[in-house]
A and B are shown apart, each in its own frame.
Chain A
Amino acid sequence: MTSVAIDIGWGTILSIKTVVVLAVIPAGAIILGYTFLLKMMSHMQSRLGPMDPGGFHGWFQLIGDGIKFIQKEDVMPQRADRRVFALAPAVVVIATFMVFVVIPAGPDLIVADLDTGVFYALAVSSLSVVGVLMAGWASANKFALLGALRAGAQLIAYELPLLLAVVGVVVQAGTMSLQGIVASQQNGEIFGWGGIGNPFVLTQIVGFALFLVAAQAELTQAPFDMPVAESELVSGYMVEYTGFRFLFFFIGEFGTAFAFAGLAATLFLGGWSIPHVTDVPVMNVLGPLVLLAKVMFVAFVMFWARFTYPRLREDQLQAVAWKYLIPIGLANIVLTGILKVVF
């Protein structure tokens, strides 16, 4: 190991890590919002508006949106529960913030390599449900409450397939630490051939599909966007939020999309690793770029589905989770367990 040892205190390291994570969330949200929400959707659905501002490909659209949000008046309904109303967007963003703690971007580029890594990530991401329920209730609005209830039912239902999809990977890797999962994919072999390592998307293709579908529902993106259903519930739990508070929800939504894409890339596509490149300083530089490329690929697939399929009905949504995804997930775990013992 020839990396340069710089002796800095843990306080400095902690603050650097905090700043980096705080910067990654809005940056990730902006990247996804710009590339996919504005540009990809405009191309797919022939939307002219977002392609217009600023001339070339509508590059000014997002900045204009930002200026608009900051200018808006901070409206709060008269009968709203003021403190809960103000706290709700923060809870959603904190849940997103906490997921990024365990996603590795390189051999040393991780805030905390927890032994319970992926379990922790799924646990803290479930905190956002609380924020959504708080927002819907505190708005003192029927539509907001309905949206929040839908969101609560949906997020609980889809947390299970999400977890079951991940168990297959954990069984195969033999660890829940995300660094350990990356390492076992990098060093893995496919029937004795280690040419490309063993990205778990090959052996856990069922788990990967389950994870993407469940993550789509956790993010309340179309075709699972009943909680925000703009044509029925106006905008669901977010209906009373304007200006900066709405921007918090927006950043939370796209930040979480970025986090789930990062989790999927780490669990199934090998994360930051490149097979046969084990030089630590090199991977500390290349790792984030490799991870970003994989995240963009996963996010592309997720947003592709979002812009393609219409919304399901509420009962169909629950049926998909309980009658199909969960049994498939359980069968996948049993199969993975048997194969793990056999080979």
Chain B
Amino acid sequence: MAGGAIGVVRSPNIVHAALFLIVVLVGAAAQYIVLLAEFVGITQFFIYIGAIAVLFLFGIMLTRAPMGSRTDFDNDQRWPAAIVAVFLAGVLVALVVDAFGNDKIRLDDQLLETSRTGPVGDSIFRNFVIPFEVVSMLLLAALVGAVVIARRD
């Protein structure tokens, strides 16, 4: 996953970068599954790889799909960017280790039960139904906006 992430920014070819992004997304889905969030992991796979990554590739190929390498993807800010990335990674690792460093997940029946699809659905549509509806309204508004911008007539 980390290799894929480095590939995304290092690749001189935009299609390769998009393909590396798929590796990263598969890694994220695998992490969800390791964390017992099977439903979230598979949703990640479905939405991000089946739809969003395909849409990326589709868009790139429809507009410009250069073969071979190009050098103009790099700009002068690569060194500051690298420093910021390393700094951010350091801060995140320090924070996570500080917060959860000694926590261990105890794999018992209760934990397994909450990771099943039924309880996940219950909590979305019972405890978190208002955020869920707000998000869906936001996405609907974004969809309508995209149609309005794309249609010039």
A interface residues with partner B (beta carbon < 8 Å):
79, 81, 84, 114-116, 119-120, 122-124, 126-127, 129-130, 133-134, 136-137, 140, 145, 148-149, 152-153, 155-156, 159, 176
Contact = CB atoms under 8 A, between A and B. Distances in A.
A114 B61 contact: no
B54 A140 contact: no
A25 B43 CA distance: 25
A126 B46 contact: yes
B54 A130 contact: yes
By secondary structure, the B interface counts as helix
Given A79-B67, A130-B57, A123 B45 contact: yes
Contact of B19 (A119, A127, A134): A134
A156 B42 contact: no
Interface residues on B, range: 20 to 34
B61 A137 contact: yes
Given A149-B58, A149-B61, 12 more contacts: A81-B13, A81-B67, A84-B19, A115-B38, A123-B49, A129-B50, A130-B19, A130-B57, A133-B57, A152-B54, A156-B54, A159-B50
Contacts of A159: 50-51
Interface in B28-58: 38-39, 42-43, 45-46, 49-51, 53-55, 57-58
B13 to A, nearest CB: 8
Contact of A124 (B13, B19, B45, B51): B45
A119 B54 contact: no
B116 interface: yes
Nearest to B26: A127
B65 interface: yes
B117 interface: yes
A155 to B, nearest CB: 8
A120 B117 CA distance: 12
25 contacts: A79-B67, A81-B13, A81-B67, A114-B38, A115-B39, A116-B38, A119-B43, A119-B46, A123-B45, A126-B46, A126-B49, A126-B54, A127-B45, A130-B22, A133-B54, A133-B61, A137-B15, A137-B61, A145-B61, A145-B65, A149-B61, A152-B61, A156-B55, A159-B50, A159-B51
B107 interface: no
A133 B55 CA distance: 10
B46 A116 contact: no
A140 B39 contact: no
B62 interface: yes
A133 B58 contact: yes
Contact of A126 (B16, B50, B117): B50
Contacts of A140: 67
